[in-house]
Structure 1
Amino acid sequence: MPDRSRSLRRLGFLTIGLFDPADPAVGHESTLSLIELGEELGLDSAWLRHRHLQFGISSPIAVMAAASQRTSRIELGTAVTPLGWENPLRLAEDLATVDVLSSGRINPGVSVGTPMQYDTVKDALYPDTAEVEDFSKTRVERLAGLLAGERVRELEGKQGVVEEYSSRVEPHSPGLRERLWYGAGSLDSAVWAGEHGLHLLSSSVLFPGPDAEPDFAAVQAAQIRAFRAAGGTRASQGLVVIPTDSASTDQAERYRAYSAERLPRTRTPQGPRRMMFAPDLVGTSEEIAEQLWAHEGFREVDEVAFALPFSFTHEDYVQILTDIATRLGPALGWTPASA
């Protein structure tokens, strides 16, 4: 029988922040109100996906800045920001600014690699340097150093009557570097994150390597264990979880249809990198809790950021989030945070 003695310590949610391109303000307001609801429900964290040239959040730092002024306790994170689109120096300035505005509640989650569909965007993104950009983990190391306060240049001090210069990123937000997460999909990346003092975000998409068995939960558990063996500490799991306790009949039917449409891709690794997808978990909180306790990957963590499904309505998300906080979380031994 699965060991249920270790309770879930931290519970959060992840959203793509979907919006209608004809009226994007409505979708962004929906995202902000869900974060406010999450705080009211006692959830520990709210995480934003990063989507470029799509109809989801393209600027999670701006959304976190807005959310920081409408909440007081809930932690805010990105899961994840693809650093191939970012200048680490400018990103460090933005993150530090929002961390100061939020009183130290920002959890930056990042990943590396060549941007998706790079050939379609490289001339706009890097018009002069597209062929020589370094998309390796060096970008993460640069960001980590900048957040830690490493020297950017030698110039510092007062010049003239009013100008005063710093040699590091300003504002400096102590502790922000220690809240840096890495979205790792492979065993090697999980080990690298542990070796470099980053926390681990393990999502519903993994790359098991050529020799691993096609068992998502076992692969995820092995990656988390390897991360900790390499010196890592905090690891968070992010599966798509859809409780139906308070759902209407129509909602429950739509949720199950959504999950069924996505299920075939979970049965076998996809593409040359053998990408693996976790099945969505749909059902009552009691049913989902049983599935999670039996999930080898879940049993390796004590914090989660359950992903909200794509393409649902605001009312659907309110119902799902409420059930996660009031029914599923307690079934997993979690206690809501105090205001």
Structure 2
Amino acid sequence: MSAAASASGASPLKKLGFLTIGLFDRDNPAAGHESTLRVIELGEQLGFDSAWLRHRHLQYGISSPVAVMAAASQRTSRIELGTAVTPLAWENPLRLAEDLATADVLSGGRINPGVSVGEPMYWDTVKDALYPDTAAAEDFSYSRVQRLAGFIAGEPVRGFSGKDGVIEEHSERVEPHSPGLRSRLWYGAGSLRSAQWAGQAGFNLLTSSVVFAPGQDRPDFGEIQAEQIRAFRAEHPDGAAAKVSQGLVVIPTDSATTEQRQKYQAYVDERTPRTLQPNGPKGFLPAKDIIGTSEQIAEELAAHAGYREVDEVAFALPFSFEETDYVQILTDIAERLGPALGWSPQA
């Protein structure tokens, strides 16, 4: 572990993952999906504990992460696969429970579904296509995720089961049933209220590179995130042992070429202004991207109040880079940054 990280009082990093959006070209989507699968395979080879997929609808990023996880499960054997996050407003919880359980069975119990609730983004532009007859009646509250959790846990969907005639056998619950999947459900929270609810509901907590800080003129992202994590654990049945994963954007440059360093810095410079103050009525506040050598990143994380509350991370890969850039970044994270944070790669 680096001297900076050790001096911070942060626990050694136990689990190291990464997050990708899985970009693709509109006219050649297969190439982008194949690239995403190769990146996940590389992650397993480098010893990462987990790979997470961002969920994007009507964009040129992964729209069906469950399908991609199922494909990745057949090309890997150990690395855990998750979503960060699936917006449940787009999903039927019963059907999603079937898909997630199927992927989990195929993976040998490696799926970690991360979900969130709330009205879909750009709701007015999609509601007629998504829910043409029921848009006004749809419930996008926490009850939607509670329904999903119950179906995954094996709660009865109906009273009917058994044979219909002499051939078909029917079940009262979602099939296939994967017994450990409910304990691997994560909730993506960005506000104090949602973090507290996730704890009360017994979910694991996904914190990301975004929090909500309405009414704060000079907010400290790390302190806000740390407060949410502590509030989550205060409400969770497992208390201080409740699982939390942090998802900041980190860009190590140890083995990057000069051209890559210039591109990475331009990316960070373009995104930094939006991190200086809360945006919009909800106080949307992104975290600052962390760029530099692995030792420099470790020092910055050591001073990050949110990071000091966790021992598990899923660092987000920049959205618009090339596969060769991801190879360099992931290799530096696994071989330099991770060990500097006290992490050891999986065999």
Q: CA deviation at 1:158?
A: 1.2
**More relative contact order in 1 or in 2 (CA 8 Å, sep 6+)?**
2
Instruction: Tell me, in whole angstroms, the C-alpha distance in 2 between the residues paired with 1:66 and 1:203.
Output: 25
Deviations 1:151-196 (CA, angstroms, capped at 9, x unpaired): 0000001121111100000000001000000000000000000010
TM-score of the pair, normalised by structure 2: 0.96
| Residue aligning to 1:102 | 107
Match of 1:14 among 19, 23, 35: 19
User: Is 2:111 aligned against 1:115?
Assistant: no
Instruction: Tell me, in whole angstroms, the C-alpha distance in 2 between the residues paired with 1:3 and 1:284.
Output: 18
User: Is 2:317 aligned against 1:321?
Assistant: no
Matched residue of 1:223: which SS? helix
Match of 2:84 among 61, 79, 94: 79
Letter in 2 for 1:330: P
User: Is 2:207 aligned against 1:202?
Assistant: yes
- Contact 1:186 1:209 (C-alpha < 8 Å) held by counterparts: no
Query: Where do 5+ consecutive residues of structure 2 fail to align?
Result: none
Instruction: Tell me, in whole angstroms, the C-alpha distance in 1 between the residues paired with 2:92 and 2:215.
Output: 33
Letter in 1 for 2:314: A
State how 1:1-339 maps to structure 2 within 5 Å: 2-4=7-9, 6-210=11-215, 214-231=219-236, 233-338=242-347
Matched residue of 1:264: which SS? helix
- Contact 1:203 1:238 (C-alpha < 8 Å) held by counterparts: yes
Matched residue of 1:66: which SS? helix
TM-score of the pair, normalised by structure 1: 0.98
Instruction: Tell me, in whole angstroms, the C-alpha distance in 2 between the residues paired with 1:230 and 1:212.
Output: 28
Deviations 1:281-322 (CA, angstroms, capped at 9, x unpaired): 011000000000110000000000000001110100110011
Matched residue of 1:131: which SS? helix
Q: CA deviation at 1:210?
A: 3.3
Letter in 2 for 1:38: G
Question: Which deviates more from structure 2 when the two are superposed, residues 1-10 or residues 102-111?
Answer: 1-10
Q: CA deviation at 1:209?
A: 3.8
Instruction: Tell me, in whole angstroms, the C-alpha distance in 2 between the residues paired with 1:66 and 1:283.
Output: 34
Deviations 1:200-234 (CA, angstroms, capped at 9, x unpaired): 00000101243686110000000001001111500
Query: Where do 5+ consecutive residues of structure 1 fail to align?
Result: none
- Contact 2:216 2:278 (C-alpha < 8 Å) held by counterparts: no
Instruction: Tell me, in whole angstroms, the C-alpha distance in 1 between the residues paired with 2:301 and 2:71.
Output: 33
Distance 1:211 1:241, change over 3 A: closer
Deviations 1:16-55 (CA, angstroms, capped at 9, x unpaired): 0001111111110110000000000000000000000000
Instruction: Tell me, in whole angstroms, the C-alpha distance in 2 between the residues paired with 1:228 and 1:64.
Output: 29
* Cα RMSD for the two superposed structures: 1.1
